[in-house]
Chains A and B, each alone.
Chain A
Amino acid sequence: MPKATQAGRAGDQSMIPLFQISVKPGLREPPVQLICQSLTVDGEMLLWVDGVNAQDPVVIPLSAVSSTKLLTDFETFMDAHKSIARRVLLAGAGEISPTIAARAVSAMAADPRLDATDALELVNGQALDLLDADAQSAAYFWGAAGPVSFAAVAGAA
């Protein structure tokens, strides 16, 4: 689906759109598919990559991601996997984001041997890895020059 069409469909702020993106953890590692919820802030559509740290989230503009697929919205996704979703949400005890819930449901749907706790452990671990990689790569990227130097390079601060 063209990105403009995806954005148009996902721009309805009465629902929580879920996108699938392809993330390559490392140069020599195969890409993994990640479900991310998107939100619109000041007209900019963003994807929440980590899904766990709402106070300091890793978000990227949808427009900057080359390969995305609009899956559906959160409610429709949960309804489509209602039995699994119930188990995941109960195990999450009201503390998981739509992104994490959808990833866990997706993992359980793909592997029936997983129980909800295992699935949540899996996707939470993956999210923490993403946060860790993000923090480490940021530190590496900025290096000794520090973020002020980076801001000048990026021209976006």
Chain B
Amino acid sequence: MQVAPQRQASGEPFAAAIARRMLSQGASAAGRDVPEAELESLRTRAAGLAPGISLSRASVTQGLAHQQIMAATSIENLWAGDADMQLIARETSAKAIGGLQSTADGDGDGEDDAEGDASRPRG
């Protein structure tokens, strides 16, 4: 998995995510002619947003995988007795667990990293 340089630091700078969103909304994509003054204004506004909020990308990815497992449980509950939907629930859960293992692996390649092996329970 290719990791953008800004995400290789210890934490995901969420102000950056907001800034990117602001640019998506306000200035849109590269190629559009955005006046430098407007860009500077966006930079300034971005600088004032949520300073200090910094969470690791792995935490967010794991949180999303856990929610996917919760979604699978909801599907299982809502369509109890529906064989097709029970299969969907199982597939949803299995893929989420695969995602969690990939995140725990650290590099997303689906294979164990040396430093992660010692603490990870074996099935």
Q: Mark A126-155, 1 if CB is under 8 A from B, else 0.
A: 000010111011111110001100110111
Which of A1-9, A33-41, A103-111, A112-120 is the contact stretch? A33-41
Is A134 touching B6 in the complex (CB atoms < 8 A)? no
How many angstroms from the CA of A15 to the CA of B57 in the assembled complex?
A: 21
Q: Which of A5-55 contact B (CB under 8 A)?
A: 14-16, 23-27, 37, 39-42, 44, 46, 48-49, 54-55
Q: In the assembly, what is the distance between CA of A25 and CA of B23, in Å?
A: 9
Interface flags for B66-110 (1: CB within 8 Å of A; 0: not) read: 011011101101110010110111111011000100110000100
Q: How many A-B residue pairs have CB under 8 A?
A: 202
Which of A41, A58, A95 is packed against the most chain B CB atoms within 10 Å?
A41
Residue B41 lies at the interface, judged by CB distance under 8 Å to chain A:
no
Decide if B52 touches A155 in the complex (CB within 8 Å): yes
Interface magnitude class on chain A: 35 or more
Nearest Cβ on chain A to B62's Cβ, whole angstroms: 8
Q: How far is the CA of A157 from the CA of B27 in the complex (A)?
A: 23
Chain B residues 1 to 23 lying within 8 A of chain A, measured CB to CB, are 1, 3-7, 9, 11, 13-21, 23
C-alpha gap A57/B15 in the complex (Å): 14
Can you list 22 pairs linking A and B with CB atoms under 8 Å apart?
Answer: A24-B26, A27-B27, A42-B59, A48-B64, A55-B1, A56-B4, A61-B50, A61-B53, A74-B74, A78-B74, A78-B75, A94-B88, A101-B71, A136-B29, A140-B29, A141-B39, A147-B16, A150-B19, A156-B14, A156-B52, A156-B54, A157-B6
Residues of B within 8 A of A (CB): 1, 3-7, 9, 11, 13-21, 23-32, 34, 39, 42-43, 46-47, 49-55, 57, 59-61, 63-65, 67-68, 70-72, 74-75, 77-79, 82, 84-85, 87-92, 94-95, 99, 102-103, 108
